[in-house]
């Protein structure tokens, strides 16, 4: 059966479809993705399939060696920590900048409301609004290059989020509550406190996911939220 996609760019359309299938768990590292098979599946020329595969290799969702088939990248503890550390560097500085002008992005506010609305549903329903919350904060700085840097991580960040939620590692109510407090701290102009809470927020997910995929959890995995201390 030929896969069907719709987009202005065939390469982008194939890459988008493959990305969705990876993030939804349909494609795993167990299956080799050859250019020949992808070309036949999507009814396109082999160079088109190759370009789509290379696009996802650049995003970190696929890996391939020289003259080898591509496979879905496997998240290991070290990779998870690298991804979350990169996020923390970018996002914590963004929160400090937003707090200087007490800029609370409407997109982030709405995304957090959407998280609250899906709290009783599937854990995976949280991924899209959670991702939107964080990208809204990034984009609110209004720096094109910072947004571009963050989007270079987006596919890997989303893959981590999918794994966290599919394994039920975090409580949705706590995610929403910590997001709300982040917005309040930005509005109060307290950038250092917002950055500290963000580090805690990301570290909990990072260490729980690292442990769930075979690593040893750091202490952050089990620390109670600062919202519940004192």
pLDDT of 153-191, one tens digit each? 988 898 898 888 888 899 999 999 999 999 999 999 999
For 179, residues 6+ apart whose C-beta sits below 8 A from its C-beta are 108, 111, 112, 115, 133, 201
Q: Chain-wide mean pLDDT for the chain?
A: 90
Q: Which of the four pLDDT bands, split at 50, 70 and 90, describes residue 4?
A: low
CB 147 within 8 A of CB 139: yes
pLDDT above 60: residue 6:
no
Q: Give the model confidence (pLDDT) of 47-73 as tens digits.
A: 999 999 998 888 888 888 777 789 888
Can you give the pLDDT at residue 124?
75
N-term to C-term CA, the chain: 59
Q: Which of the four pLDDT bands, split at 50, 70 and 90, describes residue 205?
A: very high
Residue 63 tokens, joined: 């890996």
Can you give the pLDDT at residue 230?
53
Cα three-residue angle 124-169-155, rounded to 5 degrees: 50
**pTM higher than 0.85:** no
pLDDT above 80: residue 120:
no
Can you give the pLDDT at residue 2?
56
Can you give the pLDDT at residue 229?
67
For 140, residues 6+ apart whose C-beta sits below 8 A from its C-beta are 94, 98, 103, 105, 107, 108
Q: Give the model confidence (pLDDT) of 75-114 as tens digits.
A: 899 999 999 999 999 999 999 999 999 999 999 999 999 9
Among 136, 137, 127, which Cα is nearest to 160's? 127
Can you give the pLDDT at residue 3?
58
Whole-number Cα distances in Å, 63 to 31, 58, 70? 12, 9, 5
């Amino acid at each position: 059966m030929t896969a069907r996609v719709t987009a202005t760019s065939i390469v982008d359309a194939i890459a988008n479809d493959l990305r969705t299938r990876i993030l939804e768990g349909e494609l795993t590292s167990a299956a080799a993705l050859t250019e020949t098979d992808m070309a036949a599946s999507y009814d396109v020329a082999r160079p088109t399939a190759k370009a789509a595969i290379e696009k996802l290799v650049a995003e970190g969702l696929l890996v391939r060696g020289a003259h080898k088939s591509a496979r879905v990248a496997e998240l290991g503890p070290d990779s998870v920590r690298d991804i979350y550390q990169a996020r923390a560097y970018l996002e914590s500085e963004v929160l400090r900048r937003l707090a200087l002008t007490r800029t609370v992005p409407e997109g982030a506010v709405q995304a957090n409301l959407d998280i609250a609305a899906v709290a009783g549903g599937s854990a995976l329903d949280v991924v899209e609004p959670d991702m939107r919350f964080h990208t809204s904060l990034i984009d609110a700085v209004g720096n094109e290059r910072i947004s571009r840097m963050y989007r270079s991580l987006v596919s890997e960040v989303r893959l981590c989020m999918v794994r966290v939620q599919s394994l039920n590692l975090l409580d949705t109510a706590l995610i929403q509550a910590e997001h709300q407090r982040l917005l309040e701290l930005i509005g109060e102009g307290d950038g250092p406190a917002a950055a500290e809470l963000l580090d805690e927020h990301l570290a909990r997910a990072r260490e729980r996911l690292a442990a769930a995929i075979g690593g040893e959890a750091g202490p952050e995995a089990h620390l109670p939220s600062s919202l519940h201390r004192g």
